[in-house]
Amino acid sequence: MKWRLAALLWAGASVATAANGFGRAEFADRRDPPPYTALNAAQREAYELGHAIFNTQWVIAGTPRAGRRDGLGPLFNAATCDGCHNEGARAQGASGDEPAPIGLVVQLGSPTAQFDVGDPVYGHVLNTSAIEGYAPEARVRMRYIERAGRYADGAAWTLRAPRIEIDALAHGALARDTLIKPRLASALFGAGLLQAVPDAAIVEIARRQAGIDGQVAWREVNGLQRAGRFGWQADAVSIEAQTARAFSREMGLGSTPIPHDDCTAAQGECRKAADGGKPEATDEFLAALVSFQQWLAVPAASASQPQDGAALFVATGCAACHRPQLPVENIVGAEMIAPYTDLLLHDLGAGLADRTLSGKPVTSRWRTAPLWGLNHVRRSGRAWALLHDGRARSVEEAVLWHDGEAAAARRRFEKLDASRRQRLSSWVEGL
């Protein structure tokens, strides 16, 4: 197995594959996202139940005829998964100075702890909604500061740096060193295939990466070390773990993996709120949601891609992190997928780093964002909102924010002539 893995990785490093690889499907109706493979009757039923639960509006504990769909809150951000991940797609960003949209969530962290430590009073996520009789934790507003610059050929660009304003805090000020972690709800396409990449492959890629310092997101689960891969910082090791976290932190729903809401010891009234059964989200519903995400396809890439796009992507150094090929295990019909990520964490510099409440940037490592499925955004005609907080309004802006380990690739991009820059960006948009 080891040798086979090495051989597969070697092949993947030298070839920039056709974008439309395994796992893709036409999303003819975006409200009916297809699975990437033919499902048998039982699997199809689980997929469809999962899709229905994904779209279910959860209601307050004790609501009559709730059909096991009660227990929302008392604090939450949205009442459905779909409210943030519209039919599996990434959320929309803020278009300007305005209240943070529902899919742009503010997580709270500690500047010293590695990951998964929240604010002592407000917990892991600032919950901006609450059921009747409870106060939301806070109000969040986005502001943007524009910054201009020029390419080597003189063409102008502008970027917008976010400033997050938090007020109406229900329990007094946040700790000054609490880390403010804005996160846009990511696309869920192909999650089951990312889950099928063996830890050993991720370790091997980190070992071979030259000139950049990709790190495996080791997370301890039941005493075992596993490679995290979901979320902008690869905090979660599985679809189930991320789903339970979303239920707990963003919807106020307990499930077997995480039976409690995101209420801290300082939030007595939140802890005492009535619950909608134990667990609130049943094991059957959780399993169906996992099935839906596990088989969810990646939308097809554009059929008319610039011919030299893939070559430009490799020559500019993008493919060093956004790897065109990764091996998968136990997937019928495929040994390789083309997600354009290495599932490793990289430091992209202070400009993208999370900041404490007082504005101090804290070294942050981000999972190389998978680029497959971006064509779905282009086809939707919606505004682009790229990077972990949706600040980038185009692929070009996203690249210009790349610094730290990706500084050399960004500089090569900046030196391309306008036509190549445009072809490379357009190719990425069509992935």
Give the residues lining the site for ligand HEC (CB under 6 A). Answer: 77-78, 81, 83-85, 102-103, 105, 183-186, 188, 191, 212, 230-232, 235, 239, 242-243, 246-247, 250-251, 289, 293, 316-318, 320-322, 346, 348, 352, 366, 368-369, 371, 386-388, 395, 398-399, 402, 405-406, 409, 413, 428
Considering the complex, what minimum distance in angstroms separates the CB of residue 238 from ligand HEC?
9
Considering the complex, what minimum distance in angstroms separates the CB of residue 266 from ligand HEC?
22
Cα dist from 143 to 136, 399, 410, whole Å: 21, 21, 26
Please classify residue 303 by burial: count the beta carbons closer than 10 Å to its beta carbon, then call 0-12 exposed, 13-18 middle and 19+ buried. Answer: exposed
Indicate the residue among 173 and 371 with the shorter CB distance to ligand HEC: 371
Indicate the residue among 190 and 327 with the shorter CB distance to ligand HEC: 190
Cα dist from 413 to 174, 318, 320, whole Å: 40, 9, 14
Say what angle helices 283-295 and 41-54 make with each other, to 10 degrees: 100
Indicate the residue among 243 and 356 with the shorter CB distance to ligand HEC: 243
Indicate the residue among 59 and 78 with the shorter CB distance to ligand HEC: 78
Q: Degrees (nearest 5) of the Cα angle 157, 387, 89?
A: 120
Considering the complex, what minimum distance in angstroms separates the CB of residue 105 from ligand HEC?
4
Considering the complex, what minimum distance in angstroms separates the CB of residue 402 from ligand HEC?
5
Considering the complex, what minimum distance in angstroms separates the CB of residue 19 from ligand HEC?
13
H/E segment holding residue 141: strand 139-150
Indicate the residue among 77 and 356 with the shorter CB distance to ligand HEC: 77
Considering the complex, what minimum distance in angstroms separates the CB of residue 346 from ligand HEC?
4
Is there a contact between 250 and 84 (Cβ–Cβ < 8 Å)? yes
Tell me, what DSSP letter sits at residue 6? H
Indicate the residue among 215 and 225 with the shorter CB distance to ligand HEC: 215
Is there a contact between 214 and 356 (Cβ–Cβ < 8 Å)? no
Considering the complex, what minimum distance in angstroms separates the CB of residue 3 from ligand HEC?
27
Distance separating alpha carbons of residues 228 and 305, to the nearest angstrom: 32
Q: Which of 378, 354, 376 is nearest to 366 (CA)?
A: 354
Indicate the residue among 22 and 405 with the shorter CB distance to ligand HEC: 405
